[in-house]
Amino acid sequence: MGTDLHLIRTVRREFTGPAVLLDDPVLRERADEYLTDLVRPYGLRVDAAARGQSYGEMAAELIGALVPADEPVDLLVLAFAVHDALPGRATTAYLSHVCPGTPMSFALCDQGSAAAFTGLRIAGAHAYRRALILVVEQSVLPYDPGVAVPDRHRAVALLLGDGPADGSARVTAVRQHADVGPDDVAALAAAELHALGAGRADVSVVLGPGLAGIRPPPGGPVTVVPPGQPSTGVWWALPDRLGDAVAPRVVAADYDPDLRYLCLLAAEPDGGRG
Amino acid sequence: MTAVDAVSVFLPARRVPIESLAAPLRMTEMQIRLFRRFHGLTEVRHDPDLSLSDLLRHAVDGLTALRDVAHRVRFVVYARAFPVVAPYPVNPLHDVCRAVGLGHAVAFTLTQQSCASALAAVDVAGRLLAAEPHPPGDEPLALVLTGEKAFTRDARFIPETSVFSEGASACLVSAHGRRDRLLAYAVAQRGEFDVAGGASPARFQREYRPALAEVIGRALARAGTTLADLRLILPHNVNLMTWKRLVKLIGFPLDRVLLDNVTDAGHVFCADAFVNYRTARDRDLLRPGDRYLVAAVGAGDGATFAAMVFEH
């Protein structure tokens, strides 16, 4: 990483109901036409009654809760795997508008659960004071994707800084391995977890749903994120572990079995604890 | 310093006169006349027999410089104007990466800056590479891809402004290359023009050219250069009129803006910069040491104005 990454604060939210913007008949018609044309070549049909959430609405609420006006953000990254109910919208341009600092913003996708880790790597490669990673997933697609979709609309926002702050945690490693096959992931994950400190009594381990079958080295507490929230699961659990009094260092890992990415993150409290 | 090492472009051979778009896009005869006579947009590239993966694959296959260095590619960054181009979980990016022997690379799509996403992708690729540890002599590389199908009405035209052409590009990026070095990048995002932003389309039209002029000026200042030092501007191929008016605003000779592809290739989503770069190289318009500026505007819901200054 080029820049020090410090996790300053996080906020997480669950949302219910569809996107409010879909109440606008013009936007609704545009979205329906877009989605119909999107799925037609694949022999799928749009269910006009299925109304999903908007990542713009979800993320804007998180920004309001997490970023005070006097803490301007320089970089905003929206990470998602399942698209939202307004798939043609340049949502991050809007999020930049509602975020203090009017940050440079873009979305990362087509990478499954690895996208949020990529966002952290990009933040680490930038010179910035504050970066905001928004990890989002919503649960309603208006067609049958043939695979599971998330159980709920959930979002997690990670506010990062280039130096320590009250209660912050320093991100000491972000690692990504591409093209990891299902037969290889257990050994590689075990080796990486060990290399990042798993097995020590003061190190908590958070395993994403793709690594539920992995047995980390014995040591600190282990949280296995239940299935159902493939993109946000690890990030939802992370703040709880970072607040642990006995094992405040955390190693988090996730595996996307479809796109074959194994990703890991290590963090420890700033200020010499642990 | 981030550098562009090689670029390939693929445009479908099939040309479609814009008159044939009137019925499917519900455009009036007046709108078509506006595009042809006022904006210089006469035809687009559109081939229903080529899939998105086909477009990307053709662009990668055309990048001959990739063949000997594919093992050094650590990142594939797919810059896309439209955030979603296939139903979940279909993933043309990873399909193509595996098919061309780049399955080992970390691949992702960078989007939601509309057609300006390509410049952000080059910037991000360079930054990731600069932060990537590597043994001596094994400098990591990134591949920046663009490519889109005009698959729905929103992806086929921008009312009163432009029509989209299908096409793709592949661009090899390094952190310390010498071919085309990135001197500066400037970007401005205007989310007030989003559907939830509240600003009017009329205001967007008024502020479009001043906003683009501002990022151009900022990129030049960051590069420590001036318009007078530029050999070329490689524009976005939105239309001719926008650029005729913009060069008047900023005081730059129109004949040093490479506008031929507006008519010949059309607005190829995020690929415009690379289409125009390829034309400049093929016509030998860039000499060693020449500085040039690449401009892009992503305008849809929300707007992104971006400019990069390179030294060839």
In one-letter notation, the amino acid at residue A227 is P
Q: Is the Cβ of B131 closer than 8 Å to some Cβ of chain A?
A: yes
Q: Do A147 and B89 touch (CB under 8 A)?
A: yes
CB distance A198 to A251 below 8 Å: yes
B154–A105 C-beta distance less than 8 A: no
User: In whole angstroms, how far apart are CA A29 and each of A24, A48, A239, B38, B164?
Assistant: 9, 10, 39, 30, 21
Sign of CA dihedral A109, A112, A116, A121: negative
Phi, psi angles (nearest 5°) of residue B84: -130, 120
Q: Running DSSP on this structure, what letter comes out for residue A246? A: S
What does the CA dihedral B92, B94, B99, B104 come to, rounded to 10 degrees? 170
Tell me if A109 and B109 make a contact (CB, 8 A cut-off).
Answer: yes
Residue B304, classed as helix, strand or coil, is strand
Specify the pLDDT at position A2. 55
Q: ipTM value of the model?
A: 0.97
The answer to whether B306 and B236 have CB atoms below 8 angstroms apart is no
Mean pLDDT calculated for residue range B151-180 = 93
> CB within 8 A of A152, min separation 6: which ones?
A14, A15, A139, A228, A229
Over residues A107-118, mean pLDDT:
98
Q: Distance between CA atoms of B275 and B307, rounded to whole angstroms?
A: 16
pLDDT at A269: 93
A 107-136 residues inside an 8 A Cβ radius of B: 107-111, 114-115, 118, 121-122, 124-126
Size of interface A-B (CB pairs under 8 A): 183
B194 vs A: CB within 8 A: yes
Residue B180 confidence (pLDDT): 97
> Mean per-residue pLDDT for B269-298?
97
Q: Which residues of B42-62 are buried (b: 16+ CB within 10 A; e: fewer)?
A: bbbbbbeebebbbbbbbbbeb
| Interchain CB distance below 8 Å, A92 and B104 | no
A38 contacts B151? CB cut-off 8 A = yes
- Chain A residues 149-208 within an 8 A CB cutoff of chain B: 149, 176, 178-179
Residues 6+ apart with CB under 8 A from A61: A13, A15, A155
Residue of chain A minimizing CA distance to B132: A1
Nearest to B131 by CA among A169, A257, A124, A164: A124
Are the C-beta atoms of A64 and A58 separated by less than 8 Å? no
Q: Residue A107: its chain B contacts at CB < 8 A?
A: 83, 110-112
Q: Is B114 on the interface with A (CB under 8 A)?
A: yes
Mean pLDDT for the stretch of residues B62-68: 96
Distance CA A200, CA B271 (A): 50
pLDDT of residue A3: 63
Name the average pLDDT for chain B: 95
CA distances from A108 to A105, A184, B225, B281 (A): 10, 26, 32, 31
Shortest Cα distance from B20 to chain A (angstroms)? 19
Q: Name the band, by pLDDT with cuts 50, 70 and 90, for residue B73.
A: very high
- Domains, chain A, in order of start with CATH, read 5-38+46-161 (3.40.47.10), 169-269 (3.40.47.10)
Quote the CA–CA distance of A244 and A67 in Å, as a whole number.
Answer: 24
The amino acid at residue B86 is A
Closest Cα partner for B302 from B117, B35, B38? Answer: B117
Residue ranges of domains in chain B, CATH in brackets:
3-174 (3.40.47.10), 180-311 (3.40.47.10)
Cross-chain Cβ contact B197/A143 below 8 Å: no
Chain A CA closest to residue B48: A41
For testing the chain B interface, which of A27, A29, A89 should be mutated: the one with the most B CBs within 10 Å?
A: A89
Residue A89 to residue B195, Cβ atoms within 8 A: yes
pLDDT at A271 over 80: no
Contacts of B104 in chain A (CB under 8 A): 178-179
| Per-residue pLDDT, A272 | 52
- DSSP-derived pairing of the beta strands B167-174 and B162-163: unpaired
- What does the pLDDT read at residue A274? 38
CA distance A205 to A227: 17
CB-based contact A125 B303, cutoff 8 Å:
no
- C-alpha distances (whole Å) from B133 to each of A115, B36, B311 are 20, 51, 26
From chain B, pick out residues whose CB is under 8 angstroms from the CB of A121. Answer: 128, 131
Q: In percent, how much of chain B has pLDDT > 90?
A: 83
What digits encode the pLDDT tens for the residues B203-235?
999 999 999 999 999 999 999 999 999 999 999
Which of B56 and B202 is assigned the larger pLDDT? B56
Contact A258 B103 (CB under 8 A): no
Q: What confidence category does residue A273 fall into, taking pLDDT thresholds of 50, 70 and 90? A: very low
Contact B83 A106 (CB under 8 A): no
pLDDT, tens digit (0-9, with 9 covering 90-100), for A232-265: 999 999 999 988 888 889 999 999 999 999 999 9
How near does any CA of chain B get to the CA of A221, in Å? 30
Strand-pair partners of B145: B78, B170
For residue B41, pLDDT over 60 is answered with yes
CA angle B244, B35, B240 (to 5 degrees): 15
